[in-house]
Amino acid sequence: MASRHTFSNDVSVKAALYARVSTDDGRQTVANQVRQLRELAVAREFEIFREYTDEETGASPSRTATACGS
């Protein structure tokens, strides 16, 4: 969601949110990231259709991604 697009009022922009924390030092949490992403989506009038969270490093072969409903 780096750029803002302008669409006519009858077109809904859908967004999927992805939050990932790969460290366990306590500086970031998935919950904080999801909250911030939701706020940004609302401010830009995006319709959130799916949320994904990932709380392990990408280097872990056994990691699982979690899809959350909005």
Of 41, 3, 27, 4, which Cα lies nearest the Cα of 18? 41
For the stretch 6-59, pLDDT in tens is 555 556 899 999 999 877 777 788 999 999 999 999 999 999 999 999 877 655
Question: How does residue 63 score in pLDDT terms, banded at 50, 70 and 90?
Answer: low
Q: What is the pLDDT of residue 62?
A: 64
Domain presence at residue 70 = no
- Distance, in Å, from the CA atom of 29 to the CA atom of 21, rounded to the nearest integer, reads 6
64 or 19, higher pLDDT: 19
Q: What is the pLDDT of residue 18?
A: 95
Residue 30: which domain range? 13-58
Q: How many domains does the chain have?
A: 1
Domain presence at residue 67 = no
